[in-house]
Chain A
Amino acid sequence: MKAPSGKGGAAVSIEDVTKVYETASGEDVHALDRINLRIEPGSFVACVGPSGCGKSTLLSLLAGLTEATEGTLRIDDSTVTKPHPKVGVVFQQDLLLYWRTILDNVLLPVEIKRLPRQGYVSRAMALLDQVGLAGFETKYPPELSGGMRQRVAICRALIQEPGLLLMDEPFGALDALTREQMLMDLQAMWMRLGNTVLFITHDIDEAVLLADRVLVMSPRPGRIDLDLSIDLPRPRHPGEVHDVPGFAESIREIRQVFEAKGILRARFEE
C-alpha cells in the first residue's frame, strides 16, 4: 500500500516564526526561535524533542490559540490569526465533556460551527465504528477507559474532515499496549483520509514508526535541529518495523542529535 496522495490535506508554511513568552517575573522565555517549515499537503510529520523545547507552542500557534511574536504561519493560503476552520486538534488529555454523551462529544465542533447536526450524525457513527466504539454513542465519558476516551477525542477532531490534524502527545497518557493499538488505528485512518498531520511526541520510536518526516527539536531557544525523511513502506507495524533496515538507522540518527546536545547519553557512565 502506498502513502496517500494528499487528497483533502492542507499545506502548511511557517516563515521565520519566533515566540517569546513574557512571564510574570519579567524574564522572557524564548520558546521558538526563527522556525522555518513547509509541510506538503497530505504528509504525516512527527515532531520530537525534550520537554520544554516548544513543541506545544508550535502546535498552539498553528491552532490559532497563541499569536506569534514574529513571523507568519499559513495554512493553505490564509495567514493564521485565529483558529482555522480546516484544523482539528487532539490534545494530550482527551478533554471530553462528561455531561455529554459520546455522540454529542464527537458532534461538539459541528455544534460550535453552527452546522446542521443531522448531516453529521451518520459520519460520527461511522467514525466511532472505525475506532471500535460502535454501540457506545449514548454512553457517557466516565463509562469508557482511557484509551477509548482518547479514540473519541480523535473522532471529534476528525468529524469535520480537517485538512490539518494537530496532535499534541495524544497517547502520552496511555499504557504501552493500548498505545500500540492506537498508533495502528491512527496510521490506518490517516492512510484512508489523506489529511496533513502534525504529530507531537517525545517518543522517538513512535515518531519514526508513523511519520513521513521527523522534525527533531532542541530547547532554549526552540529550534529544529534535524529534518529527517522516513522512506519506509506502509502500513508499518511496531512488531515488524525493527527488522526493517531503515528504521534502526533513522532512530540512531535522531538519538545522535540528542546525544550531541547532552539530552541523551551515548553510553552508560558511572
Chain B
Amino acid sequence: MKYAATTANGTKPGTAMNTVKAGKAKKKRGESLVERHAALLLAVTILLIWEGWVRYSGISPFVLPSPLNIIRRIFTDFPLLMSHLSVTLLEVLSGYGLAIMLGIPTALLIFYSRACERAIFPLLMGIQTIPKVALAPLLVLYLGYGWAPKITLAFLISFFPIVVATTVGLQSLDKGLVNLVRSMGASEAQTFFKIRLPAALPNIFGGLKVGMSLAVIGAIIGEYVAAERGLGWLQMMANSRFDTTLNFATVVTIAGMGITLFFILGQIEKRVVHQRELAK
C-alpha cells in the first residue's frame, strides 16, 4: 500500500499534492502495518502464548482453561449467556438511565441556585467518598433479591460522576460568551440552549462515559451479593461448581457488553459533540 502511493507520486508529479491528501485520509503516513495494528498484534500474541502454555503444561481446565475452549464455550452456551446478559443489561441501563435523568437536573440545580450549591455539593462530596459497593449488602437488606438493589447500585455509582462533570462543564463557561449572547438580547433559556449546554457537552460526555463503566460494575457487584439471575450471578454459580471455563466465558461476555455500550456512547458523542480544536 505504501509502495503503491510512492509509485503514484513518482509517476504523476503533477498530482503529488492530491495523492498525499488522499493517502492521509486512509492512513497516517509513515506508519507501518505493524505499528497500525500494534494493539491487536499484542493481544493475539498473548492469547497464543496462553493457548500454547495451557496445551503443553497440561494444566487442569479447572484452574486455567485455554482461550480456544473459552471461545468454544461461549458458542455452545450462547443462549444461556444471552439470557443472563439481558438481565444484567436491563439493570445497567435502568440504573444508568436514572442516573442521567436525575444527575443532569441535579447539576442544573447546583449551577443555578447558590443555596442548592451550598446544600448539595458538600453532601455529594461526602457521599462520593463512600465506596458505593460497600452499600450492596445494605441494599439487599432493604430492597430484597430482585431488580431493585442492582438498579439502585448501578444508579448510585454512576450518578456522582455525571453530576460532577455536568456541573463543572456548566461552571467553566467563558464569561465572554454569556456577554456575547446577552448583547444580542438572549433570555436565560436561550443562553442555556445556545451556549451553556453545547459548551458543557464535552464535559457531560466525559461524565457519561465514566458513569457507564461504573454502572456495569454496580450491577455486577449487586448480582454477586444476592441474585437469582444475571451475569454476576452466573459467574458466582460457575465458581461454586468449579466451572472455570464458564466463569471465563462470562467475564468475556461482561467485557463485550461494556465495550459495546461504550462504543455506542462514543458514536453518539461523535455525532453530538464537536471538536474544539483541529485534530493534529
Point out residues on A near B: beta carbons under 8 Å: 60, 63-65, 82-83, 85, 87, 89, 91, 93, 95, 97-99, 108-109, 111-113, 140, 142-143
Q: Give the top 4 A-B pairs by smallest Cβ distance, nearest first.
A: A99-B274, A109-B184, A89-B183, A112-B184
Shortest distance between the CB of B155 and any CB in chain A (Å): 30
Known: A83-B182, A97-B194. 13 other contacts (CB 8 A): A65-B179, A65-B182, A83-B184, A85-B185, A87-B183, A91-B176, A97-B199, A98-B275, A99-B201, A108-B181, A108-B184, A112-B181, A142-B275
28 A-B contacts, Cβ less than 8 Å apart? A63-B179, A64-B183, A65-B179, A65-B183, A82-B185, A83-B183, A83-B184, A83-B185, A85-B185, A87-B183, A89-B183, A91-B176, A95-B177, A97-B177, A97-B194, A98-B274, A98-B275, A99-B198, A99-B273, A108-B194, A109-B184, A111-B194, A112-B185, A112-B186, A140-B274, A140-B275, A142-B276, A142-B278
Residues of B within 8 A of A64 (CB): 183
Residues of B within 8 A of A85 (CB): 185
- Whether the pair A95, B277 counts as a contact (CB closer than 8 A) is no
- The answer for the CA separation of A83 and B178 in the assembled complex, in Å, is 13
Q: Is the interface of B mostly helix, strand, loop or mixed?
A: helix
Q: Is the C-beta of B252 less than 8 angstroms from some C-beta in chain A?
A: no
Contact with A along B247-260 (1 / 0, CB 8 A): 00000000000000
- Whether the pair B179, A91 counts as a contact (CB closer than 8 A) is yes
Contact with A along B164-188 (1 / 0, CB 8 A): 0000000000101101111111100
- The answer for the CA separation of A113 and B194 in the assembled complex, in Å, is 12
Shortest distance between the CB of B262 and any CB in chain A (Å): 23
Residues of B within 8 A of A89 (CB): 180, 183
Interchain Cβ contacts within 8 Å, total number: 57
Shortest distance between the CB of A62 and any CB in chain B (Å): 10
Shortest distance between the CB of A54 and any CB in chain B (Å): 17
CB-contact partner of B195 in A60, A97, A143, under 8 A: A97
Residue of A nearest to B198 (CB): A99
**Chain B CB within 10 Å, residue with most, of A82, A99, A140:** A99
Interface members, chain B 20-51 (any A CB < 8 Å): none
Residue of B nearest to A110 (CB): B184
Residues of B within 8 A of A143 (CB): 278
A85-B185, A109-B184 as given contacts; A95 in contact with B176, CB under 8 Å: yes
- Whether the pair B179, A142 counts as a contact (CB closer than 8 A) is no
Shortest distance between the CB of A101 and any CB in chain B (Å): 10
- Whether the pair B183, A97 counts as a contact (CB closer than 8 A) is no
Residue of B nearest to A109 (CB): B184
Residue of B nearest to A82 (CB): B185
- Whether the pair B190, A112 counts as a contact (CB closer than 8 A) is yes
Residue of B nearest to A160 (CB): B184
- Whether the pair B181, A98 counts as a contact (CB closer than 8 A) is no
Residues of A within 8 A of B199 (CB): 97, 99
- Whether the pair B275, A112 counts as a contact (CB closer than 8 A) is no
Contact with A along B198-239 (1 / 0, CB 8 A): 110100000000000000000000000000000000000000
- The answer for the CA separation of A64 and B183 in the assembled complex, in Å, is 7
Residues of A within 8 A of B201 (CB): 99
Shortest distance between the CB of A177 and any CB in chain B (Å): 23
**Chain A CB within 10 Å, residue with most, of B174, B180, B195, B274:** B180
Residues of A within 8 A of B274 (CB): 98-99, 140
Residues of B within 8 A of A83 (CB): 182-185
Residues of A within 8 A of B275 (CB): 98, 140, 142
- Whether the pair B194, A112 counts as a contact (CB closer than 8 A) is yes
- The answer for the CA separation of A99 and B190 in the assembled complex, in Å, is 16
Residues of A within 8 A of B278 (CB): 142-143
